[in-house]
Amino acid sequence: MPETVGMLGHGEEYFAVFPDHEAGLAVAPRFFAQGSRTLHHVSGRPWLTGRWRDGGMVAARAGETLLAVIGCCPVTEDELTAEAGRVRDLTQLGALARKLPGSFHLIAAVRGRCRVQGTASGLRLVHHANVGGVAVAADRADILAEVTCADIDEQTVAVRLLFPVPHPLLHKPLWHGVDGVRPGEALVLEPDGRTATVTWWRPPRPVRGLAEGAPLVREALTAAVDARTRDGGTVACDLSGGLDSTSVTFLAARGNARVIASTWPGLDPADDDLGWAKRAAAHLPEVEHLVWDAAASPLVYEKLLEIDDPLDEPSIGMLDRARLLSDLEPLAAKGSRIRLTGIGGDHVAWCSEAHYHTVLRRRPLFALRQLRGFRALFTWPRGAMMRALADSRSYRRWLADAAEDLSAPKTAPVTAALGWGCPPRLFDWVTPEAARLAAAAIREAARSAEPLAATRGEHTDLDQIRSCSRIIRQWEQMSARAGLPIQSPYLDDRVIESCLAIRPEDRVTPWAYKPVLTEAMRGVVPAECLARTSKAQASLDAAAGLRENRGDLARLWDDPILARLGLVDRDRLRALASRPDTPGLREAVLYSTIGCEVWLRTLAK
């Protein structure tokens, strides 16, 4: 078992929150680190300590109420002070969080009671643990594990070998004694050491039509981008040529900041991203457009053995780390203070076809016409489609059934598309013990699991958003450590809400590509740029990455920590690494295993 080595001395951003308890005087110093700052309760005891960038936190006090916002939020100290003056009880914090734009943690203390909440998207999380008899909250699980000397939870590591990890198992931290707070819930710390969680956010009902909802999407996305550009300076934007990144770039160009747009061309000759990026850039003469050399682009799986980022959970985002960070240095050299991405647009501006499982029962003739279109578009077999539409299992039943055969063949795409999601799977290099642990965790979760929303389509939309946010959360930490933070405006709660509130029939259709974003961006993005309906897949890049980095992949399995834990078969993984052209590897089946192994290695460094 690797020792748990934390990140307090690594210069990473973090924070910890303490209730107004005399024991906090002894506990808080355990969270102090070089460069950390501390705010205090009205009593003078420690309230909030951590490291954050200048301008990355706004704090205010009015009477016995303390408020702090950490992250991206355009609220000023005067505005937050006014809000603090209106807060009489912690229950008012939910309404405040729901009206502020950006992506941030909101922390409050009222008469010694504390409340800590992140984002509904899951991009900003909250964890807690008992430290010296005091309940302490933090934005990172690893600092709580370090301070409490917690051991790794091997069952949770086994769960993270699943692909994908189903709700609600993704929310469990990987150390014994460290608990997670689910997105959309807030943690309350009482002075006597008790803790409780309260729900402050629920997804909106999808009842708005496109004509009503598109202007609200434009307003929310504009506010999200403005929150990043309002301070001026230079801002970098990823301009892939896709509708998501193009929209962000055009909105940023309307703000206070100087904008640099950058494009990584794909290796596949059929990849038309660069052409669309150049077409967009031609309409932005004031924006500097940088096109990187495709041959110099790091590939998937590159430099896996060099990763040393202190992260608090495994992430498949590690596989693309080299490419993620490769252009940060030249962008920073040009004065960029932040880099904006279009990530998340696929998850909020589009939605799951699973909505038609519900629409079929409400508008059968309309739904059948749409489903015929999807069947033609995705080549869904008729029989499999009809079986998926007839499936009426509850989420609990679906989850319990998934635990019964985690090594079953991959389910048909239409089954996943119209169901509760893609059933979790393990692969043949995972040991029987790991499979037993993962199945037991799923069965336990299935006893009380509730879907994230009322219908399978709404559940799937939110599940995909939160799964994406977990990856982007780690990318944000990696990029901030490298010197140029990335941020993804589409994953701001206000943007997500504006999209989820639109009827699914208007959001996902076989007859139009991202109709919500297309309609929302009319008048902002030129019509010819809104006309794109293609999307690059980068499959050639991934295949080349497997071939070029097979040596590192083989070395990764020389003495894997996962094998020492009894969770994987080293020999099978080594054999697989020697056959990079194996067809199954094209479907990302190795991602979760590599993510877990690399993460465990970072803990041991």
pLDDT the model gives residue 231: 94
Contact yes or no for 170/466 (Cβ under 8 A): yes
Report the C-alpha gap between 364 and 456 in whole angstroms: 17
Using CA atoms of 315, 481, 121, 357 in order, give the dihedral in degrees to the nearest 10: -40
What is the number of H-type helices and E-type strands within the chain? 27, 17
Q: What is the pLDDT of residues 410-452, one digit of tens each?
A: 899 999 999 999 999 999 999 999 999 999 999 999 999 999 9
Mean pLDDT throughout 330-353?
95
pTM of the model: 0.95
pLDDT the model gives residue 366: 97
pLDDT the model gives residue 12: 87
What lies within 8 Å, CB to CB, of 558 at 6+ separation is 570, 574
pLDDT the model gives residue 534: 67
Closest CA to 188 of 92, 123, 104: 92
pLDDT the model gives residue 6: 46
Domains and CATH numbers, the chain: 14-199 (3.60.20.10), 210-349+461-539 (3.40.50.620), 355-458+551-604 (no CATH)
The lowest-confidence range among 405-414, 467-476, 582-591 is 582-591
Q: What is the pLDDT of residues 355-394, one digit of tens each?
A: 999 999 999 999 999 999 999 999 999 999 999 999 999 9
pLDDT the model gives residue 4: 35
Q: Is 337 helix (H, G, I), strand (E, B) or coil?
A: strand
Average pLDDT over the chain, rounded to an integer: 93
Extract the runs of DSSP E, i.e. beta strands, from 11-64: 14-17, 37-40, 46-51, 57-62
pLDDT the model gives residue 300: 86
The lowest-confidence range among 312-326, 433-447, 535-549 is 535-549
15 or 545: which leads in pLDDT = 15
pLDDT the model gives residue 535: 65
